[in-house]
Structure 1
Amino acid sequence: MLIALCGDKGSPGVTTTALALASAWTGQAIAVEADPAGGDLAIRLHPGGSTLPETPTVLSVATAARADREHDPVATHAHALNSTTGVVPGPVLAEQMANIGDWSPLTDALVRCAFPVFVDLGHLHSASSMLRVAARADLVIAVGRPDMSSVIRLRDRLARVAPHLAHLRGAAPRLLPLLVTTSRHGAADVADLRGILAETPVKPFVVDCGFLAHDPSGVRRLEAGEEPGGRLSRTDLLRTARDVTGRLESLTGSPATASKPSIVGGRR
């Protein structure tokens, strides 16, 4: 299963959302940072008090995928954030991401990964090199904020991108707008978003809407490698992330299975 996450200009939170959803998944999952503008997970994450090694990154996965040296390069090159979540960080600089060139081998590797993959594609637009990755995804999550300017930008971005995704897929894309907001206002913000999208041509492509709690404390604990099944599970961040992943399992028909190999013991 491949879930693509993207945002628009002024809509931070895509990387954190990918990380939270991968951690909240019922079973093993991997968050991959493939933002063409460069990534910051290698700097932000410190499981067990240690920063991640400089390599491997998504560049390592792309190189292995082009050489076809490994059956599952995504899982092979993932660092272990906690006992159920793997992470493939992106390089810090956009210039390094530009070296990938042909994204097809990496996209194929993401699709065939043995674990559910939540890939952060950054700012997605009709000329983005990430558009073909998004077109291969089972579902595209567009992350935004609840303020009106962000919602309008999200609406317009989806309306612009959806036809391009449909052309590349040869079928209608499946979109899920997700707002990063407070738990207190989440339900109302989602209701407002549904109302706004109902008046646009993008409505047939939208399979659901949801929200993820704005929870800086929970994010810090997640980035420190705290186990998602422990006390962290009671935070607003993981509680709302589990609500979203429950919907994803239903929408994609991809519930977690115990038969898949364990990601535990991956790179730390």
Structure 2
Amino acid sequence: MALVALVNAKGSPGTTTTALVLALQWPRPVLLVEADLAGSSILAGYFRGQLAHDRGLSRLALAHSHGDLEGSLWAQTLPLAEGSQDKKLLPGITGPHVAPAVANLWAALANQLLALERGGMDVLVDLGRIGPVGGGATREDREPILRLADQVLVTTGSRLPDIAVTRELVRARTSVVDAAARDLTNLSALTVGPGRPYQASEIASTLGLASVGAIAWDPVNAEVLAVGAPPGRRWSGSALVRSAAPIIDAVTERIEQRRARFATGEEN
């Protein structure tokens, strides 16, 4: 595996919580990149504002402007889990007003993140809400990450408004119409809170994407990741945590299948 991005459409929640639980349960060394242009929420939430926002994308963009992206990457990260060097976080920007300052970073960063696979490090990128493909003021500057990612997990709630805006996002980004094309696209559907009222399989079918499963609707335990609430005794066995492993397995399988298809020339 290499590079996995998580995205959402306007008004569809749960992407950062999903990215965090996947990273914490990831079975291999992993770097979580907080690349939401709305601004960082992990330092203030999961870390409860106890860490200074003195590392991250803004300083990395400055290093890149001086030609030192590769040499500065790890200095801008911090441990995601206490005592673990196998799980790292690259914090995001402080807010949307800083987004123009990192606009020139994305292409170089995408290639740098992709190269980490050679060193045995997988990468999860929380892109948050993404924009359209076209040019102009609404151009999606983070397109290089979306294009190079082995999988782009389109997260959506299971209620009709969430599904509706997510379907429009998928339509804007792909013209996939048949099963063979769905197997080759790097887009997959990931449902947050299935059964409220629609199931992950129904949602994926509506979106025209393959499904990698669903993160359980578990508001109490989600508070651990969203606002740094103390984990209870049953945290490790909670529905939220248990739902991560099948998704990781499904994502791994999707990547392996897609790479195998491209390797045998089936994209044609």
TM-score range (shorter-chain normalised) is 0.7 to 0.9
Instruction: Give runs of aligned pairs for residues 16-165 of structure 1, distance below 5 A.
Output: 16-46=17-47, 51-69=50-68, 71=70, 73-82=72-81, 83=84, 84-102=86-104, 103-113=106-116, 114=119, 115-126=121-132, 127-162=139-174
* Local SS of the residue matching 1:248: helix
In structure 1, what is the equivalent of residue 241 of structure 2? 238
Q: In 2, are the aligned partners of 1:61 and 1:106 still within 8 Å (CA)?
A: no
CA deviation map 1:124-152 (0-9, x unaligned): 12232122221111110111110112112
Instruction: Give runs of aligned pairs for residues 142-221 of structure 1, distance below 5 A.
Output: 142-162=154-174, 173-182=185-194, 185=195, 189-197=199-207, 203=208, 206-221=209-224
Q: In 2, are the aligned partners of 1:218 and 1:232 still within 8 Å (CA)?
A: yes
Amino acid at match of 2:12: S
Separation in structure 2 between the aligned mates of residue 57 and residue 130 of structure 1, nearest angstrom: 16
Separation in structure 2 between the aligned mates of residue 187 and residue 148 of structure 1, nearest angstrom: 8
TM-score of the aligned structures, taking structure 1 as reference length? 0.77
CA deviation map 1:73-112 (0-9, x unaligned): 4444221121242111212211112201212122222222
Structure 1: gaps spanning 5 or more residues:
165-171, 198-202, 255-268
What's the offset of the Cα at 1:69? Answer: 2.8
CA deviation map 1:157-184 (0-9, x unaligned): 11111259xxxxxxx53111111105xx
Separation in structure 2 between the aligned mates of residue 124 and residue 31 of structure 1, nearest angstrom: 17
Separation in structure 2 between the aligned mates of residue 253 and residue 226 of structure 1, nearest angstrom: 37
Cα pair distance change 1:70/1:191, threshold 3 Å: closer
Separation in structure 2 between the aligned mates of residue 191 and residue 178 of structure 1, nearest angstrom: 10
Runs of 4+ in 1 over 4 A off after TM superposition: 222-227
Separation in structure 2 between the aligned mates of residue 31 and residue 181 of structure 1, nearest angstrom: 22
Separation in structure 2 between the aligned mates of residue 117 and residue 210 of structure 1, nearest angstrom: 19
Cα pair distance change 1:40/1:222, threshold 3 Å: closer
CA RMSD of aligned residues (A): 2.9
Separation in structure 2 between the aligned mates of residue 186 and residue 218 of structure 1, nearest angstrom: 18
Structure 2: gaps spanning 5 or more residues:
133-138, 177-183, 258-268
Question: Number of matched residues?
Answer: 235
In structure 2, what is the equivalent of residue 247 of structure 1? 250
TM-score of the aligned structures, taking structure 2 as reference length? 0.77
Q: In 1, are the aligned partners of 2:216 and 2:240 still within 8 Å (CA)?
A: yes
